[in-house]
Structure 1
């Protein structure tokens, strides 16, 4: 995954800060009030309020903390906070650069791990089949978000039943072909773990690991075993 998304995210975050300062300044500036004529326009109470914003998690110290306070340890201290872009609900993510400036245009390619909840628009049932189906759906969404609408999934996708913090789960491992000019990678490994929370919802962790760094697959699996479900 290129650094362009990270740069855009950083600029977006900066823009929000600047916007807040401008809005605050305008709010404290003198404003001429109308003295007569047409009264101020009011908003009809029948207008529906906007939808509740999607919740988000955060990285606190060595933990990825979902919006519902489920936690997953970060991969290592070398990984840094980044934007969650796999489509999780109330999630957060960390990033590790593997190839910096690989094309001479300051683009970077690296490893990515996100943690959060299964989005409410994905149907979920607490059963072996329900966990597998949810993992397939959120995994497909994550791969599309990370690699576009027509990713090339390589042969050898695996499924595995797991148990995390006493809760049943399902793991999927798939390889996605990578064809990026000047990038010394031919594939990435995408790993998905969906874990039943016991309340009709599920926790999710997704990792995107560069093919040249397979050891991080074991690290991710170990960190998944350390996920704690907030009860």
Structure 2
């Protein structure tokens, strides 16, 4: 008899108990086999004797459930149960806690071992963010400088145009004045565009990016609630 066949028969024989107790028992014996290793599978089955024997022992010990907790140690490793050789396995709440503690320790070790990798990634991401901020700041400064230059040049040309009307000729004066008005208009349009971008487009874009970043987490949350 192989391990899976043994566990399958045991599951069928435990139909009379609750699903939670059945799952705990099967999980314990599966772990028992895994700890022993494939090379010791036959010796473990010989030690347990048969699925019927194990199922009978589990059902017999269910009366001690509240006192003992979960399926744990063999009788020869548990003095409280050495009084009766038929009771091979009893419950023990400490096994899950030890397993949980083991997982916590493994997680800490994993974090420490992988720290060079994720610290490097964090530095790269931070550097990229700083670069993006610097680029945006440079663009903003350049745009403000261009707007100021256009407005200043517009007023300057208009001033030269008016002065030329009385000193250098009407045609030249009108040309300079028209050019000044055109440049000034471009400067005003640039100002209005920047105001619209900063007041309307940027907030909309930021909200859109934040929404896109939140979507994966919202899907995970919905999946968790549904589960």
Higher relative contact order (CA 8 A, sep 6+): 1
- Could you say whether these structures have the same fold, taking a TM-score greater than 0.5 normalized by the shorter chain as the test? no
Question: Which bracket does the TM-score occupy, shorter chain normalised?
Answer: under 0.3
| TM-score normalised according to structure 1 size | 0.20
Report the structure number with the largest CA radius of gyration: 2
Structure with the higher fraction of residues in strand conformation: 1
Q: What TM-score comes out, normalization by structure 2 length?
A: 0.20
